[in-house]
Amino acid sequence: MPPLNDTIAAISTPRGAGAIGILRLSGPQAAEIAEKRFKPLGRKGLLEHSPRELVYGDLLDSGGQPIDRVLCTYSRGPASYTGEDTAEFQCHGSPMVLALGLEALFTAGARQARAGEFTRRAFLNGRLDLAQAEAVGDLLEAQSREGARHAAGQLAGALSQKIGDIYSALVDVMAHFHAVLDYPDEDIDPFRLEELENTLAAQEGALDTLLAACGRGKLLREGVPCAIVGRPNAGKSSLLNAMLGWERAIVTDIPGTTRDTVEERCELGGVPLRLIDTAGLRDTADPVEKLGVERSRKAMEEAGLILVLIDSSRPAGEEDFALLQKAVSLAPAILVWTKGDLPPAPVPFVDMELPPAVTVSAKAQSLGELEEAVAELFPREEAVPYGQLLANTRQEEAARRAREGVRRAREALAAGLTPDALLTDVEEALAALGELTGQSIQEDVTDRIFSKFCVGK
Ligand code: GDP
């Protein structure tokens, strides 16, 4: 584990030029380093200003020469993000200014922060629990509006609160049975026993609810892998472009992990979609590739949603419906009639159960029906308030173990087992819940979580 007794610094804004770039400094020497490298324009020294006040002045290099005119905020620990003394310099967003500024902080005694080290310090100093610290990462990487709102809710403590309630109810149960162990001669009042069973049942129910909503969390985090298939000229690349340019869509370029193209993502009907094999839709110059039979078969196999496109302005053929049938057998599918701005051709009778069907026009940028159909296939769980979704496999696994512990405790209670048998189970449940918020977390798990962050966060 990196030591806490040194002072760390990093550039906290993304690479590249921007209006503003932020340098962050945190640790026991933050005050001393900031005073050395920042000269306020006014008479008052930096530390004479109130904490967290924005102070205007020059960021200086080791020779005392100005690097940039900046705004500096100094926060005194523990009332800061990391819980330590921290300073933030809002510079002009020039990569050179930021590099020089960082160098100046290093020569004054700071060292380069590691990935996620600011947030890690916030966790170690008790400013955030582990679920909240993870939410910081999720918020930065959110792929949809809903994903961002859940991460913000979790950062504000919604999940921690929920887990805390379960934790505290189980601690009560433990306390009761410990008392029973200490006074073995006294029988437990049957009324009290029923009350304990109710408490355990309620906690199991709460964990069930959390676990049931897990799928939504995964979906928001990873996006639904979506394949766009259809015969040549059905309008696939036009729809793709329309989806990516859809005014209500968020488009991000995430470097693909398996090939060097970018993976395209968009949000439709509030659902984040990860568009599979869009490269295949775009390089239409190659006539063999244009048929794309093999590609679309593979894309359909990976998909969690298949959009099957049929040109509504031409008579649909057997091939179209064969593709549709194949799609329906593989994943939730939507039949998308394209080119809705053109006069429709008659639709032939087909002897199959059709998936939801919508009409779109890429040309007229009319995707409303598709948006609604996608939203309907992946409905938002209104019952789950923002932030109360288990956000990742680690949290899910811990919640699952907690539920198992509670379930075994209930069984033990029902079988009339001795309190000590039950206590072990409840203890296990508590330990699992503790892992969720980081109360009883092991260091290697902590390492893994923070290593996923980037530097400066
Ligand atoms: P792909 O081969 O399935 O990718 O199909 P394209 O997207 O390349 O479209 C084939 C042809 O249909 C092109 O000439 C497009 O301009 C045309 N097209 C695509 N979408 C629409 C639409 O919504 N309306 C009209 N009128 N034409 C469209």
Which CATH number does the domain housing residue 82 bear? 3.30.1360.120
| Distance (Å, whole) CA 405 – CA 413 | 12
Out of 104, 127, 150, a domain closes at 127
For residue 368, tell me if it sits in a domain. Answer: yes
* 272 and 336 share one domain: yes
Residue nearest to atom 18 of ligand 1 (CA): 235
Q: Which structural domain, as residue segments, surrounds residue 228?
A: 220-377
The atom number, within ligand 1, closest to the CA of 364 reads 23
- For ligand 1, the distance from its centroid to the CA atom of residue 100, given in whole angstroms, is 51
* 158 and 111 share one domain: no
For residue 433, tell me if it sits in a domain. Answer: yes
* 188 and 237 share one domain: no
Please give the DSSP secondary-structure letter assigned to residue 304. Answer: S
| Distance (Å, whole) CA 4 – CA 46 | 24
- For ligand 1, the distance from its centroid to the CA atom of residue 249, given in whole angstroms, is 20
| Distance (Å, whole) CA 384 – CA 415 | 34
The atom number, within ligand 1, closest to the CA of 340 reads 23
Out of 127, 158, 182, a domain closes at 127
Q: Kindly give the confidence (pLDDT) of every residue in the chain, 457 residues in length, as a single tens digit, with 9 standing for 90 and above.
A: 666 789 999 999 988 899 999 999 999 999 999 999 999 999 999 999 999 999 999 999 999 999 999 999 999 999 999 999 999 999 999 999 999 999 999 999 999 999 999 999 999 999 999 999 999 988 888 878 888 888 999 999 999 999 999 999 998 888 877 777 776 666 666 667 788 899 999 999 999 999 988 877 778 778 899 999 998 889 988 898 888 875 444 444 443 333 334 468 888 988 889 988 766 555 445 555 455 667 778 889 989 999 999 999 999 988 899 999 999 999 999 999 999 999 999 888 888 888 999 999 999 989 999 999 999 998 877 667 888 888 888 899 999 999 999 999 999 888 887 777 788 899 999 999 998 888 765 666 677 677 777 777 8
* 30 and 113 share one domain: yes
- For ligand 1, the distance from its centroid to the CA atom of residue 234, given in whole angstroms, is 6
Identity of the amino acid at 367 = L
* 295 and 430 share one domain: no
* 154 and 56 share one domain: no
SS3 state of residue 337: strand
Residue nearest to atom 17 of ligand 1 (CA): 235
Find out whether 390 and 396 touch, Cβ atoms under 8 Å. yes
- For ligand 1, the distance from its centroid to the CA atom of residue 44, given in whole angstroms, is 66
* Residue 126 zone, left/alpha/beta (φ > 0; ψ -120 to 50; rest): left
Beta strands in 193-270 (DSSP E): 224-230, 252-255, 262-268
Domains of the chain: total: 3
Out of 127, 153, 188, a domain closes at 127
For residue 451, tell me if it sits in a domain. Answer: no
* 157 and 122 share one domain: no
| Distance (Å, whole) CA 244 – CA 367 | 11
* 24 and 118 share one domain: yes
The atom number, within ligand 1, closest to the CA of 342 reads 26
- For ligand 1, the distance from its centroid to the CA atom of residue 255, given in whole angstroms, is 27
- For ligand 1, the distance from its centroid to the CA atom of residue 366, given in whole angstroms, is 14
Backbone angles phi, psi at 223, to 5 degrees: 85, 150
For residue 452, tell me if it sits in a domain. Answer: no
Beta carbons within 8 Å of 247's beta carbon, 6+ residues apart? 365
Residue nearest to atom 27 of ligand 1 (CA): 339
Find out whether 316 and 354 touch, Cβ atoms under 8 Å. no
Q: Are strands 86-93 and 18-26 parallel, antiparallel or unpaired?
A: antiparallel
- For ligand 1, the distance from its centroid to the CA atom of residue 237, given in whole angstroms, is 7
Residue nearest to atom 24 of ligand 1 (CA): 339
Mutational test site, ligand 1, from 229, 236, 238, max ligand atoms within 8 Å of CB: 238
* 279 and 363 share one domain: yes
The atom number, within ligand 1, closest to the CA of 290 reads 2
CATH number for the domain harbouring residue 243: 3.40.50.300
Q: Which residues line ligand 1 (CB under 6 A)?
A: 230, 232-238, 281, 284, 338-339, 341-342, 361-363
Please name which of 400, 421, 399, 406 lies closest in space to residue 196, comparing C-alpha atoms. 406
The atom number, within ligand 1, closest to the CA of 238 reads 7
| Distance (Å, whole) CA 45 – CA 149 | 40
For residue 260, tell me if it sits in a domain. Answer: yes
For residue 413, tell me if it sits in a domain. Answer: yes
* 247 and 174 share one domain: no
- For ligand 1, the distance from its centroid to the CA atom of residue 124, given in whole angstroms, is 56
The atom number, within ligand 1, closest to the CA of 338 reads 23
* 302 and 365 share one domain: yes
Residue nearest to atom 9 of ligand 1 (CA): 235
- For ligand 1, the distance from its centroid to the CA atom of residue 238, given in whole angstroms, is 5
Find out whether 107 and 415 touch, Cβ atoms under 8 Å. no
Residue nearest to atom 19 of ligand 1 (CA): 235
* 345 and 242 share one domain: yes
- For ligand 1, the distance from its centroid to the CA atom of residue 363, given in whole angstroms, is 8
- pLDDT number for residue 207: 96
The atom number, within ligand 1, closest to the CA of 234 reads 3
Mutational test site, ligand 1, from 231, 233, 369, max ligand atoms within 8 Å of CB: 233
- For ligand 1, the distance from its centroid to the CA atom of residue 14, given in whole angstroms, is 38
For residue 76, tell me if it sits in a domain. Answer: yes
CATH number for the domain harbouring residue 181: 1.20.120.430
For residue 31, tell me if it sits in a domain. Answer: yes
- For ligand 1, the distance from its centroid to the CA atom of residue 422, given in whole angstroms, is 66
